[in-house]
Each structure stands twice: as structure tokens, then as C-alpha cells.
Structure 1
Amino acid sequence: MSRSFTTLLLAFLITTFHPQFSSAQDSLKNTADSSKSIPDTLLFKIQKAQAAITEINSANKKGYDIEARQQRLGDIRRNISPLQKDFKAAGNKIETKSLMSYNLILKDAQARLADLTTQLMKDNNELQRMSQQVVDLSSDSLLTISAKDDLEKKLYQNQLLDIKQRLQDAGKLTGSNLSQVSQMLADVSALSIVANDLKDKTAEQLQQSGELALGKEESYLWNAPLTGSTDESLGYLVKSSYQGQQQILKYFINSTWDKRIMAILIAITFFIWVHTNFNNSRRPSVKQKIGELKFEYLKPYPVLASLIVLLNITPLFEPDAPSLYIELIQLLLLLVMTIHLRRTLPGPELRYWLLLIGAYALLILGSAAVNDSLLPRLLFMGINIFFIYLGILIYRKVKVRQFSKRYVRTVIIILVLLNVIAILMNLFGRVSLAKVFSATGVIGLTQLIGLAVFVQVMLDALELQIKLSSCNNGIFSRVSHNKTRLKSQKALSILSVILWVMVFLINLNLTGGLSGLLEQILSKQRSFGSIHFTMGNILFFVAIVYISNKLQKHVPLLFGEESITFNEGNTPKNSKVALIRLIIIIIGVLLAVTASGLPMDKLTVILGALGVGIGLGMQNIVNNFVSGIILIFEKPFRIGDYVELADKKGKVQDIGIRSSKLLTPQGSEVIIPNGDLLSGRLVNWTLSNDFVKTELTFKLSAEADIELIYKTINEEVQATGNTMKNLPPEILINSIAADNIEFKVLVWVTNIYVEAGFKSDLLKRLLLRFREQQIKII
């Protein structure tokens, strides 16, 4: 036993302290730990790879709109291709109006290419990231099976092989998409270079267009050849002239539908508005009041009138339109007006009208057919002479009642002057300028006529609305009809002037330059001390303040409140109008300050200075303003109440922010600051009740029968109207003298506005009764 114990102890000491045995134990322990950590890391890698593959496949499955983007790129290429050919063929002889249209096309193409580039760069970066992720996962040693791997790793062999295959498939699909996106990015970059080059050429030629236009293009008229330098026919010249503009026109029509839709919606709204009003006017109750409606320019189904509105307002929504587009719009407008007015115009005027349309069409075709030969230039000059004669004839005889005589004569003078200039330009070989001036002058005349019809159509529609609104107690029943007509005609005249000027500038190819100049003026940063601003900010500030002021003045009309008159009726109104006015003013001021672009720190300085100004000399203004706000919420009186303040009394006509208005019985309007109304002793006769107690005194003979007097007064008070039946009159003896008795009669009348009439009527009745009863009045 002792021997066995000694042997075991010796073995224990050897295994514990001997270095080789200790090393062997550590090796076995590390092997066990390694066998445990390898599967954990491998599982994490497998999960990470599966998540990455799912993400990559999802992104590739979603797609990158390659086909749609290629189609967009193809559209841009097709838009630019004719421009390349034109620059290559014409060199530096492209017309200014074509250059303006080219500039518009290239500007839009650059914007669309920039958008494509941004999208493709984003997709390219994403595909490169996914491709690199596939490469990193494929080269990971933990996801690779080899003969040297231990047994536990080989247990995941099937999963690792599946991941390997899925990574290869994802890599192929990602590489294919990356290749397509990269190729398309290269195509977009190449097309962007072409577009930038064409834009530079266009800008360069536009800078030189003024010198080129003033330069001699063709020979002088007296040196012009009988036949042109080419033997093309008239039809071929017209076709070739408009073929170059066809692509521009097609591009413009296809690319500006968003703006055109707005004009179309306005025309549709106009049609529905007029058609609905005509249907409402046929109701027996309404027809009996307004009678038969007869409008020369408006029909129950206003299809042509709506087209006239649409064609007239189109330039307002498409200021960048090419001149050919405006020419076609004006031609369509003339044709629509011809159909619309064929039964309105008398026979001679209709013939002149058709002659004007024919001359206009001949001018447009002639502009396309004019070349360097003598005969076309002479014919073109003949058209100019005809329009000069027509302008002089219109200047003398024709009157356009929709516009002032000064406006009409200005347009006709411009027509004559531009045609005279066109003849001179043609005479001295400046054919392009002759075409531009001729078209501009004639379109100015046709547009004047079109705008006159447009104004009359709108005025007829407004007249129809006024009549219906008056019958239905609508908004127009609360305003002056004559003022509404005059203001509407003035507003339409201003709109017509704006439209006329816009078309005039488009035909002269000046819209681009003027809009650029205006944009530069409005957006240029300016400074006043440490404050920085732009003219655009100031313009917005003034516009918002002006609109807010106009809107708050007309708020009562929107809420059905009529102007107050001093009559018998008493219809007090609440102060919601004043409250809404206050809200509009506050919102307007806040929007105006925001639009001004003034920083808040600068605004704080201004408010501080304003506070000093208030402390020095603006106390009364602020006092009245704050008092107005208190009056709105406290409501000591309402619009329509009869109030008395010191020596002023009358009906409240308006409650403003700074002051209020009283309408006195004499008809005068008294403006009282709100501070006086709030701080003074204000008497409101109609705040709770409309009825008031009135007093009459008179003296009768002391010999008269008092009971008879009481009976007579009671009878006459009851017989007189405007008294409160449930409140009997009070008849009092006020004083007694040797030969007379003074009576006081207190009567409740329905409202203060009938008090004077009631007194007069009652005294008249009493006078007649006392005479009948032989009661002497002292």
C-alpha cells in the first residue's frame, strides 16, 4: 500500500512540473479552443455572405432603367443631331431666331444630360461597391474548401459551395450591369461634350448676330439678279425654310406641355364657368328678373370663345416660344375669330377681315420664299406697302372700343414704321431684318384685334356673372357694377398690353436678352452699409405688402358684408372681418419680411430702431393699433351699432386696425382713432337692445281736461307705428303754471333710427287731435 502511494505521488509530480508534460497539456487545450472558434467565425462569414448576396441580387433585380435611360439619351441625341447638321452646313449664316431656338434646345439638353450623369454616377458607384464586395467574399479563405481543412469545416462544404456559386452568378450580373452603366455614362459624357460645343458656338454666333444682321446679306435691290443663285421653285423654298424650323417647333411643343396644360385648364375652366352661367340664366325665376340675354361675342356653348381665350393667353405661359410658334398661334387665332365673328361682322367689314387674313398668310409664306432674286423681293415689298396702306386706313376710320385710342394708334404707328423699315432693309440688302420687321409689325396688328375680341369675350362673361350674382345675392350684388366693369376692363387692358409686348419681343428675338438682363438686375447682390439685398427681394416685398393691403380692404365683400348706410334698418355685424384683416396684415408683413431676405440679426437692429422711434414720436400710432386689437376681441360695439362719443354720434361703418369710421345722421363719415374709442366715454345705443326711450314735452292750457289729454295721448301713441307694444308709454306732468300744464311723454320706439320720424308723426297727430278737442297748446 505504501509502495503504491509512493508511485502515484512520483507520477503526479513528474506530470505537473516537467516542462514537456506542461507543453503537451497547453497544446491539447489550444486545439480544443481552436476547434470551438473556427465554426463560430465560419457561421458569421456564411451569414454575412448570404446577406450580401441577397442585397446584390435585390439591387440587380430592381434594375437600373437602362432601356428607359437609353431612350432618353436617344431623344436628346435626336434633338441635337439636326443642330449639328445645321451648324456644319450653314456655318456662320444661321438666322438669329434659329440661334435663339437652338440655345433653348441646348440649354434643356444640358440640363437633362446633367441629370442623367448624376443618376448614372450614383448607380456606377453602387455597382462598383457591390462588385468589390463579391470579389472580397469570393477570395475569403474561410469561405473556400481545400484538402487541408479540418473535419468540422468540411461539415459546411455544401453551404460553402452553394455560396460560391451564388457569388459567381451575382458577380456576372453585377459586372454586366456595371458594363452597361459605364458604357452609357461614357455615351452621356460624349454627348455632353457635343452639346457644350454647340452651346459655345450658339453663344458666339448670338454675340455676332447684331453685326451680321446689320451687315449686307444680299445685293442692293437695283443690283438684284432676275433669277436667284439657285433654281429652286417657290414650293421648294417654302418647304426648305420651314423644314429647318420643324424640328425646333416639334421639340418645343413636346417639351413645354407642363406650361401648356395650365393654359388649357384655364380655357376649360372658362368654358365650364360660362356654360354653367348660361344654364342658370334659363331658370324661370332668374329669367324673369334678368330677361333675355344677348351677347355678340358669347354663346351658351362657348367653344370658340374658349379657344380665343386659350390662344391669347398662350404667350403668357410660354415666353420662350420660337417666333414660328407665335406665327402659327396668331394664324389659328385669326381663323377661330373668323368663324366666331362671321355672323357678327357686317358684309364690308367681313371682306376687309378676310383680306387681312389672306395678306397675313401671304406675308408668312413670302417670308419663307424670299431669296436674293428681284421678283420675290419686289413682291415682298408690295406686301409691306399694302400693310402700310391698311395701317393708315385703320388709323383714320377704325375704332377699337375695348382699348383706348392712344393704345390703338400706337400699335398702328408701329405697324407702319416697321413696314417702312422693312422696305428700306429690303432695298439695301438686309433681307433677314426685313422679314423680322414685317412679321413683327403685322403680328402686332393681328394680335391687337385678337386681344380686343379677348377683352370683349371676358367682359361679356363678367356681365353675365354680374347679372346672375345680382339675382342670387352673390358677391357682385354687394359692389358697384359700374366700378366693377371699369376696373375689370382696366385690368384686362393691362394684361393685353403685357401679352402684346411679350409677343412683340418674341418676334424681334429680344426675349432672351431682356430676360437675362432683367434677371441680372433683380438677382445682383447689393449692399447698404452692412445690409445685403437684391432688387428682386425688394420687388417681392413691395408686391406682398401691396397685395395684402388690397386684400384686407376687400375682406368685407368676401364675407357678404355690404357697405353701411344710415337707414332705418339695424343689422349689426360681428368683428370677424376686422380680425381677419388683422391676420392678413400680420401674415403679409411676415411674408414680406421673409421675401426681403433680411437676416434676423439685421431685423433685430431695425426693430430696436423702431422701438426708439416709437418711444420718441410714434406712441399714438402704436396706441391706436393696440387699441384696435383690443376692440376686436373686447367687442364694445359692432359694425352697424349706433354709438355716441363726446359730441360725435352715428352708426359704426367700419372697424379698422388704426381707426374706425362713423356714419352720422347728416351723412358725413367721421374717422375716430381707436385709442379715443377705447379711452373715452362711449355710449352704445344698440349693443344689447335696439329699442330706445324717446321723450316729448309740450304745454297745454290749465283749463283742459287732464283725463281727456291722457286718453288722447295713449290713443295716438298706439296709432303711431314703430313703438314697443309690450311697453306702454309713460305720461307725466312735468310742471304746473298759472295758465298751463307741461306734460312729458316717454315712449319706447323700436330703434334709434326711427326716433326723429316717430316724434314728428306723433306731434302731428296730437296737434290735429288737440285742435279737434279745442285744447289750447301753449
Structure 2
Amino acid sequence: MHGTCTKGIAVLLFLCWFNFSGNAVSAQSVKDTAAAATSGSVKLSADSLLIRMEELHNTLNRINNITSREFDTRGMEAELPEIKSNLQTIDDNLKLYNKVLNIRNLQMFRVLLADMREHLEEWRTQLFDYNKELVRMNAEMTAFTKDSFVKQIKADTTFRKFYLPELKELKSKWDQAQQSTTRHLNKITVLQAGISGSYFKAIELENKVNEQLRIFSIKSLGKEYNYLWENKSHTDSSAAALAQQSSKSFEGLGKILNYYTRTHSDTWFWMFLIGLIFFLRVNKQFRKIKKAGSHELLQPPYIRYLRALPFAGTLVIVLNIASFFDLHAPSAYIDSLQSFLVFVLTILFWRRWERRMFVYWITIFVLYLLTTGTATVVVPDVRVRTWMLALNALSVITGFFIYFRIYKNLPAGKLVRIVSVIFIVLNVLSALFNLYGRLSMAQVYSTAAIAGLLQIIGLTVFIQIVEEAFYLQMQTSRIAGGFTARFDFEKVRAGLHKILVALAVVLWLMVFTTNLNIYNELYNGISSLITATRKIGNTSFTLGNILLFFVILLISNFLQKYIGYFFGETDDEQVGEVKAKSSRLLLLRLLVLVAGFLIAIAASGLPMDKITVVLGALGVGIGLGLQNIVNNLVSGVILIFERPLKIGDFVEAAGQKGRVKDIGIRSSRMVTTDGAEVTVPNGDLLSSKLINWTLSNNHIRTELLFTIAPSAALPLAKKIILEEVSASEAVIGKVAPELLVKSINDSNVALKVMVWIQHVHQEEAFKSQMLQQIYQRLKDNEIMMS
């Protein structure tokens, strides 16, 4: 018994170092604490002690649970040595003779250093949060040692006797928590020191790179080397040393580029996902068309580059849009993607281009390999510079071939011709820079020229493949009867082609400016231009918001233009085949425009009170000069609700007769019986006389005129005419035809037949058929028509 009490007292003495934080202590416990502190005569109740023990258990359990899961620093510990190595590689390169570095390498270093600095900064923030959490837990445990409640446990022998196991468990949890927090604090402190050191070194190297870029750019515009026709002794004498420095300079570039690719693996995931969806979709469409027996739809000129297993086509799509996934990629990364794209294009053109055109392409491909390979050689040797001049001359000749011949074999050939002109100009400039000793600019211009030329060829193929995929979707939808079966492919393709060309131009400019090493400056300049806040009076705005305003308006206009396709409207309908569609389509288009306008207003960032003033001023302008336009707009809304006509009705308006094809917001279109499309302002439809032949039904009463001889044959003629007319399927059977005599004399009789037919569009065809049949019947019965 004495031993048990002694052990209990030892545990209780340990608990004196705890501080029960008291976050959830009851009011009674607070009173007990005060009493114990002042007189020491008031004992804690067993309930109070149990409550405090439970709180301590919960606190230590929480701390141990957190530390047992470990703080996630594995990624940092794995990548930090590689970052340190890359930083050292860049540092070593920057210490070399500066002529070994060209602008492309300096730009690459700047992008990579910014990327590593961002990673290090994220890690520093994360470690700071971890450290803050551990310090808080340590402070919470240290506070246990100052708790006055523990002192009174020593006086309560009964409590010690019954709760000794629980007190032992608390001591064990305390030891575990203290060891874990201390171990993690030491580990994170060491890691923080390493990451902070690398972070500050990355900043230092960034400053060095920016300074070298500034100095090197100035030098590149000046005379770097002797003129090509001058004495080369000084240049040639340093060739061996520069070759050795060049080898050291590019020794670690592959490793650094591999690091960049691996740290941006998420972009590859999205690229793979897009490629997989495209591949499976195209394959499914091929199988559907083949299953329907329409193999002719899968042959040229409809399909040229896609196949049932579109591996090459998918890679062309993915590699062309890769630039959008990483707007600040280093030029070496872009070059690697470009090289892979060129290889894929070569495979794609192998069986799809005629032999002579494919030989031209191989020439361009070889020229690309030679130019990019030469660009890596920075030794200013006379032989290298002469070789560069030869490549420039060959490139100029190739550019003319592309301008006059090769572009015809590519979709969006105008883009290829424009880029071929840029290609020729850049190669001429490169040759001039080489002659006058500006070798760095010569290398940049020649590599940017050939890369830009190959990219625009790849983008034209990209446009063609997307259009072919859209064509496959249209054909499979027609087979399945889907909603896209209603689309006029050629019209929609024209709109799609414009969008794809705009996208291709943006992608080309991104890669081209990256190769010229001006993309970052251009991007930052445009970004600051459109995001900078400007003021006119008290109104603040940005050019980006204004641009977004117009973009949203263009999108809403595009949607209202094509939204009719989703409700059965087509553009290939001929007279007599137009389906009657609800005029509510006009309301839907109006709602799309109004919604687009309101969203554009919200996106512009302009305050509504200022917009109200603008709309008020606009109202005055409308009242003065836009009355007719507003009249037509309001008339279009009235047409929706009053519905004097709808799409498909056969009407007479503005001196024209035809079928309503479209009811627009400002004007409506109708197709005449001659096939002409007439645009009539909505205001004229409401203010002038409008005859609607099909408002309630499609019936129409038509007339047939006959003059027969002799007059004695009138009874037989009437019988024949009525028989023929009544037998026609176009005639409404419920209403009997009327046969009237208009005039009569001894030699002939003039007759008029009035008959109701089913559809107004059948009137002319009905008359033609009846006149022929009645003429033949009368002639067979020796009755002449005159």
C-alpha cells in the first residue's frame, strides 16, 4: 500500500508541470481554483478533477494525432536538392564568359528562376504555417506546468488511489507529445533554413540574369564581332576556349529543362485528357458512318487527315494547343514541342501529300534541323558564320517556293503566304546581322523564322483536322437524326473557320514572340495596358473591361444568330418546304441579346448610375436620329405578341409575295416564289397592308379559265372539267368546285372554275396539272380550247 501511494505521488508530482488550459472549465472549477489559490483549504470535487483530466486527455490526443500524421514535407525534401543543383548550374553558367550565353538561354534562365522562386516561396509559407502550429502546441503543453489545480491532487489520497492508471497514461501521452513536437520543430527548422537559402539565391540569380539580359541586349545591337570580311585572327584564336565554355554552358540545360517539364506535369494531364476525348470521339464517329454504309463520306475531299484511329491527328491537336496551357514556358520547352510536332506532321504528310509536295516539306524539315542545330553553336568562327549565310540564302529560296506553290496544298493558305513573307524578311535581316557582326540577333532571327514557318503549317493542319472532326459530327448526327442534322454545314463551317483562324493567329503570335524572346515583355505590357485603372471624371474603368464588354456582345450576337438551328431552323429550305416555326424564336433571340447586353454592362465594371446617364443621353439620340431603327425594333416585339404572321406563313407585303423565312429583331425575310430573299423592315409589316394567306390555315381558293368551242358541247365540257378537278388530291373534298359561265355565243363559251385546294404552295402546280389533264380530255372528246 505504501509503495502504491509512493508511485502515485511520483505521477502527481509530474502532473504539477502540466497546465490545464481551462478553455471549457465550468464556473464551479473557476471558483475552486480561486479558493485553492487564496486559502488552500477548499478541496476540488471529484467531478472537477475528472473534467480537468478529460480535457487534458483530449488536448494530448489531439496533439499526438496531428504529429503522428506527420507534416507533409516529403515533396519539399525530394525536390529541394534538385532545385539547389539547378540553381548552382545556372550560377556556373552565368559566371562563364558572357559570349557563351545567348539571349534565348538568358530568357530560359529567367523563366526557370521565376518558376523555382515561386515554388520556394510556396514552401516557405507552408513551413511557416507548420512551424506556427508546432509552436502553438508547445506553448499549450508548457502552460500545463502552471496549473494550480494539480497541486491539490497531492492532498487527495482517495483520488490518487482510484485514478492512478489514468494519471500514468497522461504521463505517457505527455512524453510522446513533447518528443514529437520537438522532433518536428527541429526538422522543419532545418528545412526552413535550406529553402530560405535557396529562395534568396534564386532572387539573386534573377537579378543577375536581368542585368545580363540588359547588358547583352545592348551589346547584341552593337558590333559583337568583326565584320565577316575583316581580319578574323582574334575571333579564330579564341575559338577553342569558347568551344570549351560553350560545352560547359549547355551541360546542365537538359537537366534544367527536365525539371521544368516534370514540375508542370499537370499541363500534360490536361493535354492527355483532351487528346483522349478527341481520339475516342473521332473513332466512334468513323465507326458509326461505316456501320451506316456511307463509306464515301470518309474519302477526300471530305476527310483528308483523319483516320479511324487518329493518332497523328490527335497529336497535332494537342501539340498545337500546348502553348495555351503554359503561357510563360521557356523557349527551349517550346522548341522541344515544336520539334515533336514537325516529326508528327512528317508522318501525316507522308501518304497524304503528292510526291513533289512531300519533297518540298522534307526540304523545310531538313532546313529546320540545320538552322536549330547551328543556333546552338555560339563560337564566332568564320566557317560557322559562312554556313549561317548559306542557310539564310537557302531559306529565302524556300520561302519563295512556299509563297508561290506550297501554300496551295494547305488550308488557310493566306496565313501561310503571310508568314512566308515574314520568313523571307527575317532571313534577309539575319544575313545582314551576320555580315555586320551581330551574331546573336542573326541566330535569334533565323531560328524564329523557321520555327514560325513550321508552326503556321502545323496550325493550318490543325484547322483542317478540327473542321474534319466537325464534319464527322455533322454526318453522324444526320445519320442518327440528332439536332446538329439541321445545321447547314457550309455556313457553320465558314463561321467555325473564322474562329479557328483567329485562334491560330493567337497561338502563332505566342510562340513566335517567345522565339523572338519578346513574349514576356509583350505579355506584361499588354496585361498592364488592359488592367491599368483609368479615369474620366469620376468614372474609373480598365481597357480590359471595355474589351470584355464588346467580346460578350459579339458572343451574344453569335448565339442569337445560330440559336435557330436548335429549334429546327435550317438554311437549305426551299419554297414550299419551310416548316412553320413559332415566332417565339424571335423573343428568344431578343432575350439572348438583352441578357448579353446586361452581362456585358456588368463585366464592364461601370457603375449603374453612370450607365443610367448614358442610356438617358442615348434616349435623346434615339429620339433625334434613330427613330426608324427603334420603330423597327419595337415592331419586332409587337410581332411576337400580336402574331399577325409567323415563320412559314405565305404573305403579301411591300409589293412582294412569298413565304416568311425569318422574323428578325429589326427586319424580317421572306422567300418569293422566284426564290429571291426579300428583307422587309418590321415597321413596314405593321404599318402597311399585310395579306397573310396562311394565318389560320393553308387553304386557298384558285381559279381556272377555259374557252371552249363549239358552244353546243357545253354540257359535256362541264362534266369533264368537274370530274378532273374533283379527282385531284390537292382539292378540298368538303367544298365542291364551282363552274360558272362568264360569256357565251354561237361559236364558243368562256368558263371559270373556282376550287379550294389544300395548300397555298400547290396553287401553281395544281393549275398546271389541271390545265393539261382537262385539255387532253376535251381534245379526246373533240372539244377544242381556244
Question: Which stretch has the larger CA shift, 573-582 or 429-438?
Answer: 573-582
Q: Alpha-carbon deviations, 1:535-558, whole Å to 9, x = none?
A: 111111111111211221112234
8 Å contact from structure 1 (residues 440, 507) kept in 2: yes
State the one-letter code of the partner of 1:588: G
1:177 aligns with 2:184: yes
Question: Which stretch has the larger CA shift, 468-477 or 441-450?
Answer: 468-477
1:652 aligns with 2:660: yes
Within-5 A mapping of 1:361-376: 361-376=369-384
Equivalent position SS for 1:85: helix
Q: Distance in 2 between matches of 1:152 and 1:517?
A: 79
8 Å contact from structure 1 (residues 662, 670) kept in 2: yes
Match of residue 504, structure 1, among 498, 509, 512:
512
Equivalent position SS for 2:251: helix
State the one-letter code of the partner of 1:61: S
8 Å contact from structure 2 (residues 586, 640) kept in 1: yes
Match of 1:377 in 2: 385
Match of 2:218 in 1: 211
Question: Using a 3 Å threshold, how does the CA distance of structure 1 residues 259 and 763 change in structure 2: closer, same or farther?
Answer: same
Match of residue 80, structure 1, among 71, 87, 92:
87
1:191 aligns with 2:198: yes
Q: Shift in Å at residue 703 of structure 1? A: 7.6
State the one-letter code of the partner of 2:310: P
Q: Shift in Å at residue 752 of structure 1? A: 1.1
Structure 2: which 5+ runs fail to align? 1-37
8 Å contact from structure 1 (residues 228, 372) kept in 2: no
State the one-letter code of the partner of 1:536: G
Q: Alpha-carbon deviations, 1:687-732, whole Å to 9, x = none?
A: 4433334456779999868865653442121234411234433456
Match of 2:66 in 1: 59
State the one-letter code of the partner of 1:520: S
Q: Alpha-carbon deviations, 1:382-406, whole Å to 9, x = none?
A: 3334434444565566554436777
8 Å contact from structure 1 (residues 102, 248) kept in 2: no
Within-5 A mapping of 1:271-282: 271-282=279-290
Match of 1:436 in 2: 444
Question: Which stretch has the larger CA shift, 599-608 or 629-638?
Answer: 629-638
State the one-letter code of the partner of 1:366: T
Q: Distance in 2 between matches of 1:67 and 1:533?
A: 46
Q: Alpha-carbon deviations, 1:514-553, whole Å to 9, x = none?
A: 1111111111111222221111111111111112112211
Match of residue 229, structure 1, among 225, 238, 246:
238
Within-5 A mapping of 1:233-272: 240=248, 242-272=250-280
Question: Using a 3 Å threshold, how does the CA distance of structure 1 residues 420 and 652 change in structure 2: closer, same or farther?
Answer: closer
Identity between Structure 1 and Structure 2 (%): 35
Q: Shift in Å at residue 598 of structure 1? A: 1.6
Within-5 A mapping of 1:140-159: 140-144=147-151, 149=155, 158=164, 159=166
Q: Distance in 2 between matches of 1:390 and 1:622?
A: 57
Match of residue 551, structure 1, among 545, 551, 559:
559
Q: Shift in Å at residue 241 of structure 1? A: 5.3
Q: Shift in Å at residue 656 of structure 1? A: 2.4
Match of residue 167, structure 1, among 171, 174, 178:
174
Q: Alpha-carbon deviations, 1:648-696, whole Å to 9, x = none?
A: 6532211223443333435454445556656888664434433334456
Q: Shift in Å at residue 600 of structure 1? A: 3.3
Within-5 A mapping of 1:460-609: 491-563=499-571, 567-569=575-577, 571-575=579-583, 577-609=585-617
Match of 2:669 in 1: 661
State the one-letter code of the partner of 2:264: T
State the one-letter code of the partner of 2:183: S
Equivalent position SS for 1:532: strand
8 Å contact from structure 1 (residues 241, 368) kept in 2: no
Q: Distance in 2 between matches of 1:224 and 1:33?
A: 100
Structure 1: which 5+ runs fail to align? 1-30
Question: Which stretch has the larger CA shift, 690-699 or 416-425?
Answer: 690-699
Match of 2:316 in 1: 308
Q: Alpha-carbon deviations, 1:111-160, whole Å to 9, x = none?
A: 2233223333333333222222212223202023575x356765676355
Q: Alpha-carbon deviations, 1:252-303, whole Å to 9, x = none?
A: 3223333344444444444444444443443464247888889664444332
8 Å contact from structure 1 (residues 447, 500) kept in 2: yes
Q: Distance in 2 between matches of 1:423 and 1:742?
A: 93
Match of 2:22 in 1: none
Q: Alpha-carbon deviations, 1:467-523, whole Å to 9, x = none?
A: 666777777865666556665555555444444333322221111111111111111
State the one-letter code of the partner of 2:215: Q
Q: Shift in Å at residue 43 of structure 1? A: 4.2
Question: Using a 3 Å threshold, how does the CA distance of structure 1 residues 64 and 601 change in structure 2: closer, same or farther?
Answer: farther
Q: Alpha-carbon deviations, 1:303-327, whole Å to 9, x = none?
A: 2333334444434544433333333
Equivalent position SS for 1:650: strand
Q: Distance in 2 between matches of 1:670 and 1:179?
A: 84
8 Å contact from structure 2 (residues 93, 248) kept in 1: no
Q: Distance in 2 between matches of 1:292 and 1:94?
A: 49
| RMSD value, Cα | 4.4
Q: Shift in Å at residue 249 of structure 1? A: 2.0
Q: Distance in 2 between matches of 1:163 and 1:562?
A: 80
Q: Alpha-carbon deviations, 1:159-195, whole Å to 9, x = none?
A: 5565455334323323333333344334333332222
State the one-letter code of the partner of 2:55: K
Match of residue 116, structure 1, among 117, 123, 129:
123
Match of 1:10 in 2: none
State the one-letter code of the partner of 1:506: T
Q: Alpha-carbon deviations, 1:67-92, whole Å to 9, x = none?
A: 33433544543443322333344579
Question: Which stretch has the larger CA shift, 743-752 or 616-625?
Answer: 616-625
Q: Distance in 1 between matches of 2:150 and 2:624?
A: 84
Question: Which stretch has the larger CA shift, 328-337 or 284-293?
Answer: 284-293
Q: Distance in 1 between matches of 2:287 and 2:200?
A: 60
TM superposition score normalised by structure 2 = 0.81
Q: Distance in 2 between matches of 1:376 and 1:413?
A: 26
Q: Distance in 2 between matches of 1:421 and 1:701?
A: 93
TM superposition score normalised by structure 1 = 0.81
Equivalent position SS for 1:166: helix
Q: Alpha-carbon deviations, 1:321-353, whole Å to 9, x = none?
A: 333333333433333333333445566655554
State the one-letter code of the partner of 1:568: G
State the one-letter code of the partner of 1:116: W
Match of 1:133 in 2: 140
1:321 aligns with 2:329: yes
8 Å contact from structure 2 (residues 345, 458) kept in 1: yes
Match of 2:209 in 1: 202
Q: Distance in 1 between matches of 2:746 and 2:224?
A: 118
Question: Which stretch has the larger CA shift, 85-94 or 31-40?
Answer: 31-40
Q: Distance in 2 between matches of 1:618 and 1:397?
A: 51
Match of 1:754 in 2: 762
State the one-letter code of the partner of 1:603: I
